[in-house]
Amino acid sequence: MTGRSGIATIPFVKASACGNDFLLIDGALAPPDMAGFTRRICDRHEGVGADGVEWMFADASADVEIRLLNADGSEAEISGNGTRCVAAYICEQQGREKITIRTGAGVKTSRLTARRDQEYEFEMEMGEARVEREITIKLGAQEVRGVPVSLGNPHFVMFVSEFGENWQFEAAAIQRRAEFKQGVNVEVVVAEGVHDLQARFFERGVGETRSSGTGSCATAMAAIVSGKAESPVRVHTPGGAQMVRTESQRVFLRGAARMVCRGEFFL
């Protein structure tokens, strides 16, 4: 589209879920090079800045279909926080309190549980988590142990007694390992009690993030299966806390999303 200055622009909405920020853009306006545009607009110095773009498309059987492109332009199956940001946008626009969103990991249903001004709280059904047995990975002269978990996207959950100063470098090294052919999201976790976990996230295509929806679910499920926690689990992150609970093998994620701003980005 063309802005008031006569320059071609693409409108966007920015939203944040526990510090995990996304740009929401109508997929019908996507330029041919979606990956390149995503990198530009997500740049925190030369662009708007975000962890990724949720491109939104019409869908025949869901309220919306979304494609998530990370800040580096790579595509991911799903972001729990990004999906919740889209749910907040639809709630704001249409007043809907039950929202179905088609993702690369299937259709996810979000239900509004609270609203205050521009902040929306949802509980989203995430489906079933596949938690595998703990494995050991060699990183040079050392070894690290972690639990592979899938929620439609891959995770590697490591339990530690405290967060090391260089945990980000270790997480980046794990992501480069050949064991993870599709890449992997790395969670470093300190178990504080049966219902409380502290977590840090290092995600594919982004790096360290202040929060992660699917990462919080993977963290909680790995802790529950290994006997370190019991449902419900509150996952504390630098961006805020989210609640994860299980019901008949299904995983539910509860947390907030906040509408931040609207604007137009020059093409």
Beta-ladder partners of 237: 240
The whole-number pLDDT of residue 3 equals: 58
Q: Does residue 1 have a pLDDT over 90? A: no
Peptide bond into 11 cis (omega under 30): no
- What pLDDT score does 5 carry? 63
In the predicted structure, residue 156 carries a pLDDT above the cut 70: yes
Residue 6 scores a pLDDT above 90: no
- Determine the pLDDT at residue 206: 96
CA atoms of 100 and 156, how far apart (whole Å): 28
**pLDDT > 90 in the chain, percent:** 92
3-state secondary structure 139-190: ECCEEEEEEEEECCCEEEEEECCCCCCCHHHHHHHHHCCCCCCCCCEEEEEE
Residue 2, pLDDT > 80, answer no
Residue 230 has a pLDDT of 97
Homologous superfamily of domain range 9-125+255-266? Diaminopimelate Epimerase; Chain A, domain 1 (3.10.310.10)
Higher pLDDT, 43 or 1: 43
pLDDT at 45: 97
The reported pLDDT for the residue numbered 4 is: 63
Measured CA angle at 67 (ends 66, 73), to 5 deg = 150
Q: pLDDT tens for residues 86-131?
A: 999 999 999 999 999 999 999 999 999 999 999 999 999 999 999 9
The size of the chain, in residues, is 267
* Each residue's pLDDT tens digit, 242-262: 999 999 889 999 999 999 999
> Which pLDDT tens digit goes with each residue over 31-83?
999 999 999 999 999 999 999 999 999 999 999 999 999 999 999 999 999 99
Burial of residue 76 (CB within 10 Å: 0-12, 13-18, 19+) is: buried
Mean pLDDT of the chain: 96
- The domain made up of 130-248 has a fold known as Diaminopimelate Epimerase; Chain A, domain 1 (3.10.310)
CB 228 within 8 A of CB 221: no
Average pLDDT over every residue of 150-161: 97
Task: Tell me whether domains 9-125+255-266 and 130-248 share a fold.
Answer: yes
**What is the model's pTM?**
0.94
What is the sign of the dihedral through the CA atoms of 104, 105, 110 and 114? negative
What pLDDT score does 112 carry?
A: 98
Domain boundaries, the chain: 9-125+255-266, 130-248
Q: For residues 44 and 241, give the distance between their C-alpha atoms in angstroms, rounded to a whole number.
A: 24
Please report, as a single letter, which amino acid is at residue 102. Answer: R
